[in-house]
Amino acid sequence: MFKKLTLLLFIITLSFILIAYIYQQSIDEKPKVTVVLKDLNSEYGRMIEAGLKKGFHDFDIEGKIVAPTSVSFFEQVDLLESILMEKPDILIISLMFPEYSIPTLDKFIEQDIPVLLLDTDFQWDNKTTYIGTDNVALGRTAGMLLGSQLQTGNEVAIIGLDLYSPVASKRIMGAKRSLDTIGINIIAEKVNVYSEPLRVKSEIETILEKHPKIKGIMATNDELALIAFQVIEKHDLKMPIIGADGINEMIKLIEEGDLPGSVAQNPYDMGYLSVETAKKELNGKNVEKHIDSGIDIIIKGNVEQRLDFQKRLLK
């Protein structure tokens, strides 16, 4: 009888230990979130990465961040295929070429893996949400800022990347609305210049030659804006050039008085908000279809604070 009682107590004790272990394991196992960015080398990409890492820490998530090593859409699709085999709890992605990636993203949905779009939006019914800039609003703000430095009737040019890009096309649309409203004449619109510096310089040289009375330039990203500044500086001209990203080199030109101001996205906030949103989705909470990470106007008065913040992020 004593042996039976001892065995029973042993079995009960062992059961409690096993249940406690399984329970602890379920608590300790963090949800897995994988993020696919466009790149991890640019300032912009590294600031998104910093926001993601802070979010992983604050929301107790096991996060993984990857990016293609080139601008090839094949590589991003290949990355997605390998991530699908890992079966993360949620995928967050900054799309490079949406039309090529969507068929693979549909496979995530088929396996009940929510997909959150970061930085680049796309009309895709299966996305959980988009976290990033309202690019039409950014364009409007850029147009208003450029117009505030000019007089009614002045002439300006718009320089953009691939017009089929959902980002560039929306920024141009927004800028046109603002500039038209305040009576600024858009005398040149160069798109599909991509990121080839020599090609961009050639296009701007042509604009200056054909339109010597031009008073300002709006670019759909800072890379283009910086190239435009180099050309303008070479010709000993001084005019407002508005970019869109808020990278340090652009901010320094404002700090030094070479440019009056620019418009900036908030890549750190994008990264952080995307992880916060992933946590809400994992907890079964309602998630809005569009989460705006905001737009900042950078001028001489706030440039030092912004530059200090970004330098800390990029250390």
- 80 or 198, which is more confident: 80
Please give the model's pTM, rounded to 2 decimal places: 0.86
Q: Are 237 and 215 in contact (CB under 8 A)?
A: no
Confidence band of 12 (pLDDT split at 50, 70, 90): low
The pLDDT, as a whole number, for residue 315 is 81
Lowest mean pLDDT among 27-36, 238-247, 272-281: 27-36
Number of H helices and E strands in the chain, helices first, is 11, 12
Mean pLDDT of 198-212: 91
pLDDT tens digits, residue range 293-309? 999 999 989 999 999 99
**Domains along the sequence of the chain with CATH:** 31-133+267-295 (3.40.50.2300), 135-264 (3.40.50.2300)
Residue 166 pLDDT exceeds 90: no
The pLDDT, as a whole number, for residue 164 is 66
Work out the percent of the chain whose per-residue pLDDT is above 70: 88
Question: What is the rounded distance in angstroms from the CA atom of residue 64 to the CA atom of residue 87?
Answer: 12
The single residue listed with the structure tokens 């017009």 is: 163
Lowest mean pLDDT among 73-77, 85-89, 163-167: 163-167
Q: Which residues is 167 bridged to in the sheet?
A: none
Inter-CA distances, 261 with 146, 177, 184, 251, Å: 9, 20, 18, 8
Confidence band of 169 (pLDDT split at 50, 70, 90): confident
Confidence band of 26 (pLDDT split at 50, 70, 90): very low
Distance from the first to the final alpha carbon of the chain? 70
Q: Are 158 and 190 in contact (CB under 8 A)?
A: yes
Inter-CA distances, 65 with 38, 94, 275, Å: 11, 11, 12
Residue 160 pLDDT exceeds 70: yes
